[in-house]
């Protein structure tokens, strides 16, 4: 007689036999794991890093502190390496000094203690061979299809021409290996800012000017995190001088360039019940005068302003951002159910009040990034106005009643304490 126990035992045996007889290529067809992103931090250790103008300490000390904080925060999935330039040769032989770059910590799984110990040994020493360091870093990151990013931190321009680091960056980009170079200038002068901006733009990276240790640490952490979670590739667009000629934008990330004091227009179509969320960032990629601002306006096709966002700066930052939100109310239900609701064209105006000294080139315009998102808005106007307090009025009434009772009890306790104090 076949019992339930024997039936179960036989089924298990058949499953085990079937698994053993499966062809081995079935396992091989499983999707392969995604390669971990790779990042190499390239640190300038040249003699100029001795300057004590960041938070009352040397640029080298600020860089070491920032590196320690960054190393503590590196995501587990990121493979990180460190390369130096100008760390070893203290002499005056230019040919020898321009070879002074080496990998301090290999790209791979991070041993935080070992990496911190290596950074602690560094002292400002020699030249500034940025071009050779970038070539070395690109080689360090070779192989595979993982996201790759170089983060260059320096306080001066390259001292090893004619190997132009900007041309080196263009050659790296031309290889099509999807390697991005971000640059950070420590208390940079105009020439350093121009060179680092050129390096970053050649590979689709970013440039940031740094004047404080906190800024350096925060920015490097952001760039390392970006390698672990790559952002959407921006779409190039060109704004118009008026809304009627503006490009129509769908939800996404867009890049453009805007001259000093210019106004640019873009269009977004919004259906009833949807909410428009937009933000813009303008990068001051060159020396600019103090006291400037960025404005983002949403207006109707007829010029009536719907909402706006603005932000002002004083020359202490290289990126200025602002944003806005506009919920399009639902229809009142008087229209036919079969009729398709008409979209409203919202005109987005991006303006800036930047200006620059006469010696600064105003062309090309400053880089801008425009983010557009369209989401389902609140179901009704009352929901939009409730600010999370609930659909009904009962919660508001409960809060009012609670406050009233608390006031009565507190007043009674206060009078009782005064009475007791007088009796004593």
Do 53 and 81 fall into the same domain? yes
The alpha carbon torsion through 45, 48, 49, 52 (nearest 10 deg) reads 170
Q: Residue 64's CB: how many other CB atoms inside 10 A? A: 18
CB 165 within 8 A of CB 192: no
What distance in Å separates the CA atoms of residue 63 and residue 1, rounded to the nearest whole number? 80
pLDDT of the residue at 370? 92
* Beta-carbon contacts of residue 382 (< 8 Å; ≥ 6 apart): 391
Q: How many residues does the chain have?
A: 424
What distance in Å separates the CA atoms of residue 89 and residue 124, rounded to the nearest whole number? 10
The domain spanning residue 295 has which CATH number? 2.60.120.380
Residue 16 inside a domain? The answer is no
**What's the burial of 305, exposed, middle or buried (CB within 10 Å: 0-12/13-18/19+)?**
exposed
**What's the burial of 271, exposed, middle or buried (CB within 10 Å: 0-12/13-18/19+)?**
middle
Do 201 and 257 fall into the same domain? no
- Residues of the chain below pLDDT 70: 1-33, 230-233, 315-318, 331-340, 377-404, 406-408, 410-424
pLDDT of the residue at 316? 57
What distance in Å separates the CA atoms of residue 195 and residue 207, rounded to the nearest whole number? 10
What distance in Å separates the CA atoms of residue 319 and residue 283, rounded to the nearest whole number? 4
**What's the burial of 255, exposed, middle or buried (CB within 10 Å: 0-12/13-18/19+)?**
middle
What distance in Å separates the CA atoms of residue 298 and residue 307, rounded to the nearest whole number? 5
Give the model confidence (pLDDT) of 240-258 as tens digits.
999 999 999 999 889 899 9
The domain spanning residue 63 has which CATH number? 3.40.50.410
Do 152 and 267 fall into the same domain? no
Do 223 and 256 fall into the same domain? no
Beta bridge partners of 79: 38
Do 194 and 242 fall into the same domain? no
What distance in Å separates the CA atoms of residue 188 and residue 176, rounded to the nearest whole number? 30
Domain boundary among 195, 228, 261: 228
What distance in Å separates the CA atoms of residue 209 and residue 215, rounded to the nearest whole number? 9
Do 279 and 374 fall into the same domain? yes
| CA-closest candidate to residue 331, choices 313, 350, 344, 320 | 344
Residue 167 inside a domain? The answer is yes
**What's the burial of 54, exposed, middle or buried (CB within 10 Å: 0-12/13-18/19+)?**
buried
What distance in Å separates the CA atoms of residue 68 and residue 40, rounded to the nearest whole number? 15
Do 242 and 370 fall into the same domain? yes
Residue 362 inside a domain? The answer is yes
Residue 17 inside a domain? The answer is no
Residue 390 inside a domain? The answer is no
C-alpha separations of 181 from 69, 169, 247, 251 in Å: 21, 8, 30, 27
Helices (H), 3-129: 4-21, 25-28, 59-73, 94-97, 112-120
Q: Is the overall model pTM greater than 0.85, yes or no?
A: no
Reduced to 3 states, what is the DSSP secondary structure of residue 274? strand
Helices (H), 123-245: 130-140, 165-174, 190-202, 213-228
The DSSP H or E segment spanning 268 is strand 263-270
Domain boundary among 228, 259, 283: 228
pLDDT of the residue at 18? 42
Beta bridge partners of 311: 294
CB 151 within 8 A of CB 116: no
Do 136 and 258 fall into the same domain? no
CB 110 within 8 A of CB 80: yes
Number of domains in the chain: 2
Residue 119 inside a domain? The answer is yes
The DSSP H or E segment spanning 378 is none
pLDDT of the residue at 32? 53
Residue 97 inside a domain? The answer is yes
Phi then psi for residue 351, to 5 deg, are -130, 155
Residue 260 inside a domain? The answer is yes
Do 250 and 161 fall into the same domain? no
Range of the domain at 42: 38-228
Q: Which residue has the tokens 């070879």?
A: 99
Reduced to 3 states, what is the DSSP secondary structure of residue 229? coil
Give the model confidence (pLDDT) of 65-75 as tens digits.
999 999 999 99
Assigned token pair, 263: 């106004």
Do 130 and 269 fall into the same domain? no
């Amino acid at each position: 007689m076949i019992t339930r126990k024997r039936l179960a035992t036989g089924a298990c045996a058949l499953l085990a036999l079937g698994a053993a007889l499966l062809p081995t290529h079935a396992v091989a067809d499983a999707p392969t794991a995604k390669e971990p992103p790779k990042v190499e931090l390239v640190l300038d250790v040249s003699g100029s890093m001795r300057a004590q103008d960041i938070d009352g300490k040397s640029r080298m000390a600020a860089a070491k502190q920032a590196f320690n904080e960054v190393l503590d925060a590196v995501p587990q999935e990121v493979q990180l390496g460190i390369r130096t330039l100008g760390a070893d040769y203290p002499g005056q032989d230019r040919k020898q000094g321009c070879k002074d770059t080496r990998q301090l910590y290999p790209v791979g799984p991070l041993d935080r203690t070992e990496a911190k110990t290596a950074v602690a040994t560094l002292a400002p020493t020699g030249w500034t061979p940025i071009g050779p360091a970038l070539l070395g870093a690109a080689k360090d990151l070779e192989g595979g299809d993982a996201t790759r990013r170089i983060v260059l931190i320096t306080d001066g321009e390259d001292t090893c021409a004619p190997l132009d680091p900007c041309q080196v960056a263009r050659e790296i980009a031309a290889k099509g290996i999807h390697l991005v170079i971000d640059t950070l200038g420590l208390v940079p002068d105009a020439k350093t800012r121009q060179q680092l901006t050129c390096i970053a733009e050649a590979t689709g990276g970013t440039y940031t000017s740094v004047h404080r240790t906190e800024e350096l640490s925060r920015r490097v952490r952001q760039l390392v995190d970006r390698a672990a979670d790559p952002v959407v590739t921006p779409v190039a667009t060109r704004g118009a001088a008026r809304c009627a000629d503006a490009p129509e934008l769908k939800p996404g990330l867009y890049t453009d360039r805007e001259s000093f004091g210019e106004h640019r227009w873009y269009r977004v179509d919004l259906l009833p019940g949807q909410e428009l969320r937009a933000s813009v960032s303008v990068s001051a990629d060159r020396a600019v005068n103090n006291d400037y601002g960025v404005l983002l306006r949403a207006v109707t096709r007829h010029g009536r302003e719907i909402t706006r966002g603005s932000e002002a700066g004083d020359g202490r930052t290289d990126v200025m951002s602002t944003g806005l939100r506009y919920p399009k109310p639902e229809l009142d239900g008087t229209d036919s159910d079969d009729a398709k609701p008409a979209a409203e064209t919202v005109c987005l105006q991006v303006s800036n009040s930047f200006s620059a000294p006469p010696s600064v080139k105003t062309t090309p315009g400053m880089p801008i990034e425009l983010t557009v998102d369209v989401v389902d808005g609140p179901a009704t106007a009352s929901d939009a106005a409730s600010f999370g307090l609930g659909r009904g009025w009962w919660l508001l009434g409960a809060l009012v009643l609670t406050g009233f009772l608390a006031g009565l009890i507190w007043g009674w306790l206060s009078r009782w304490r005064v009475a007791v104090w007088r009796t004593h």
